Amino acid sequence: MTMDWMNQAVPQAQGLYPYVPGKPIEQLLREKGIAEATKLASNENAYGPSPKAMLAMQQAIAEVHRYPDGDSHALKAALADKHQLDAAQILLGNGSNEVLELVIRCFAGLGDEVIYSQHGFIVYALATQASGANRAPVQDTPELGHDLDAMLAAVTEQTKIVCIANPNNPTGTLLSNDALQRFLDALPPHIITILDEAYDEFVCDIKQDSVQHLHHPGLVISRTFSKAYGLAACRVGYAMANANLLEAVNRFREPFNLNSLAQAAALAALDDGAWVMEKVALVKQERTRLELALAQRHLLAGKSFANFVLLQHPKALELHQQLENMGMITRPLAGYGLPELLRVSVGKHEENEAFLQALPIALTRLKATV
């Protein structure tokens, strides 16, 4: 008998689909039979991690036969110290992705509602669906930013969580300090706000540190080592929130969710803040260069505050394919309902240069196919 396992799965599995990540370089090389490719598709830090983090991982290798510290004590203490919080106000995750999922799983179930912005980070929708709760997307502002007033107006008796990405991926928008403050003050205190700050290091010089808002009982701030810190493969993210709230979330956390190499790398990376901010400055410089080049070609869609730029073209998906044919991986946003946009992560100078060289050729080839 052939079983249809989809029918046996929990009801929410029907509306679920796997997260589609940026295409790995190896996959494009295999598909196209080419020798080299550049990936500008997953908002990583192309400069890699701090040398101190790499050394710490090498040293930690000798102990991989031991289970890691399940409480990530040293890393948690270092983060608490950095943010002037109690260690009980920090929860570590296998990437901030896990943090987002754990909070949603802990507080939203069948019949509950999770509000997020229409073009907010896709994991909010996926994690909500997986938890069995109802998804409540709210329309963006015309600039593709979060409309916090509309999100407040969307709150119902069933609302348990509101997810906000600041800056947002994939639209690159940033909320003003005032708008965020007003939102947090107006939201009923029993509702959780997940404030996802995966790209915080790219804006920390132009916005208030939201840790100051942690007196709001339901505020959960999430951050990551995957972007500015250059440790995407290590999978380290964390939440900062009220200790009692995190105690509940912690019950859903898998034992040993953070492996020992990741703990060692993140701890060493934290100790090399100057290195991170130097690379952030480089990324921002390169972002400006990319934005200017796209603007000159009338292809720039808005200002991005994160480590990527947005390219607008009526045939963005076809342009993405032409770029892939030339070994250049970008991220089409059709899956986000933005079929005219491509998200291009800021790479190293030479990678961005290669992209800017490839772009006019891809555009010419695209024109030839129409």
Closer residue to ligand PLP (CB): 163 or 323: 163
Closer residue to ligand PLP (CB): 196 or 201: 196
Q: Are 356 and 299 in contact (CB under 8 A)?
A: no
d(Cα 322, Cα 309) in Å, to the nearest integer?
A: 18
Binding to ligand PLP by residue 239, rule CB under 6 A?
no
3-state secondary structure of 236: coil
Segment lying near ligand PLP (by CB under 6 A), choices 24-32, 82-90, 95-103, 325-333: 95-103
Binding to ligand PLP by residue 352, rule CB under 6 A?
no
Task: Return the percent helix, strand and coil in the chain, to nearest 5.
Answer: 45, 15, 40
Among 38, 45, 50, 97, binds ligand PLP (CB under 6 A): 97
Range 156-175, binding ligand PLP (CB under 6 A): 165, 169
Closer residue to ligand PLP (CB): 229 or 362: 229
Within 10 Å of residue 35's Cβ, how many Cβ atoms?
Answer: 7
CB 93 → ligand PLP: shortest distance, Å?
A: 8
CB 92 → ligand PLP: shortest distance, Å?
A: 11
First to last CA, the chain: 49
Binding to ligand PLP by residue 237, rule CB under 6 A?
yes
3-state secondary structure of 56: helix
d(Cα 359, Cα 40) in Å, to the nearest integer?
A: 13
Segment lying near ligand PLP (by CB under 6 A), choices 7-15, 91-99, 127-135, 212-220: 91-99
d(Cα 139, Cα 359) in Å, to the nearest integer?
A: 32
Cite the DSSP H helix spans in 297-348: 316-325
Binding to ligand PLP by residue 121, rule CB under 6 A?
yes
CB 223 → ligand PLP: shortest distance, Å?
A: 8
Closer residue to ligand PLP (CB): 179 or 293: 179
For 296, the token pair is: 């000159």
Question: What mask, x for binding ligand PLP by CB under 6 A, covers residues 186 to 225?
Answer: ----------x-x-------------------------x-
CA–centroid distance for 283 within its chain:
17
For 33, the token pair is: 């039979």
Cite the DSSP H helix spans in 4-161: 5-8, 25-32, 51-60, 73-83, 96-107, 123-131, 148-153
CB 129 → ligand PLP: shortest distance, Å?
A: 17
d(Cα 244, Cα 264) in Å, to the nearest integer?
A: 27
Among 38, 226, 345, 352, binds ligand PLP (CB under 6 A): 226
What single-letter amino acid sits at 90?
I
Closest CB to ligand PLP belongs to which residue? 95
Range 41-60, binding ligand PLP (CB under 6 A): 43
Binding to ligand PLP by residue 230, rule CB under 6 A?
no
Closer residue to ligand PLP (CB): 72 or 96: 96
For 262, the token pair is: 């990741």
Could you list the residues that contact ligand PLP (CB under 6 A)?
A: 43, 95-97, 121, 165, 169, 196, 198, 224, 226, 232, 237
